[in-house]
C-alpha cells in the first residue's frame, strides 16, 4: 500500500501544475500572437526600406540629370578664385554688380575670391557664361536688371 504522504505529494504536484497551466495559457497565447504581429511588422518595415532605397536611387539619378555640370557647349566648367577676380576686373565690375549678374550677393563674390567658399555648380555655369561677354553687354544687362528691380 502506497504511503499516504507520497499520494498527497503527487496529488498536490498534479494540481499545482494544472493551476499553473491554466494561469499561463492566456499569457502564452498573447505572447504567440505578439510574436506573429512583430514578425509581420518586420516584414513590412523591410519592404518599406527597400522602397525608400529605390526612391533615393531614382531621386539621385533625376537630380544628376536636372543639375548639369557642363556648359552649353558640352565642356566641363571649372572654377578658380583667381579667374573670377580677373574676370571681374576685366569687366570693370564691383563685387556687388557682378553678384547681381549671376544672382548672388556681393559678399558671396568676395568669399569666392578669397577662397572662403565655393560657388554652387549652377553659379559656376553662370560665371562661365559671363566669360564671353564684353563690357557693353554687361552694362546693358545691369541696366536691364536695375530697370526690373
Domain ranges of the chain: 1-66, 81-148
pTM, rounded to two decimals: 0.50
Residues 50-85 have pLDDT tens digits of 999 988 888 776 654 444 445 555 567 788 889 999
Tell which residue, 145, 144, 126, has the closest CA to residue 71.
126
The residue ranges of the chain whose pLDDT is under 70 are 1, 61-75, 149
Match 511588422 to its residue by C-alpha cell. 41
Q: What is the Cβ-side half-sphere exposure of residue 142, based on CA atoms within 13 angstroms?
A: 18
The pLDDT of residue 1 is 59
Is 132:75 a contact under the CB 8 Å cutoff?
no
Quick count: other Cβ atoms within 10 Å of Cβ 145? 13
Quick count: other Cβ atoms within 10 Å of Cβ 106? 15
* CATH code at 81-148: 1.10.260.40
Torsion of CA 9, 14, 17, 19, to 10 degrees: -110
Is 88:112 a contact under the CB 8 Å cutoff?
no
The pLDDT of residue 50 is 94
Amino acid at each position: 500500500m502506497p504511503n499516504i504522504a507520497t499520494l498527497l505529494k503527487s496529488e498536490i504536484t498534479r494540481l499545482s501544475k494544472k493551476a499553473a497551466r491554466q494561469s499561463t495559457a492566456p499569457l502564452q497565447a498573447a505572447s504567440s500572437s505578439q510574436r506573429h504581429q512583430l514578425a509581420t511588422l518586420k516584414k513590412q518595415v523591410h519592404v518599406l526600406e527597400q522602397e525608400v532605397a529605390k526612391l533615393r536611387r531614382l531621386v539621385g539619378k533625376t537630380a544628376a540629370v536636372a543639375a548639369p555640370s557642363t556648359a552649353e557647349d558640352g565642356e566641363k566648367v571649372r572654377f578658380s578664385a583667381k579667374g573670377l577676380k580677373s574676370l571681374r576686373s576685366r569687366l570693370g565690375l564691383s563685387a556687388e554688380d557682378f553678384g547681381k549678374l549671376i544672382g548672388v550677393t556681393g559678399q558671396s563674390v568676395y568669399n569666392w575670391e578669397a577662397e572662403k567658399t565655393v560657388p554652387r555648380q549652377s553659379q559656376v555655369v553662370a560665371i562661365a557664361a559671363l566669360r564671353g561677354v564684353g563690357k557693353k553687354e554687361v552694362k546693358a544687362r545691369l541696366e536691364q536688371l536695375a530697370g526690373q528691380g
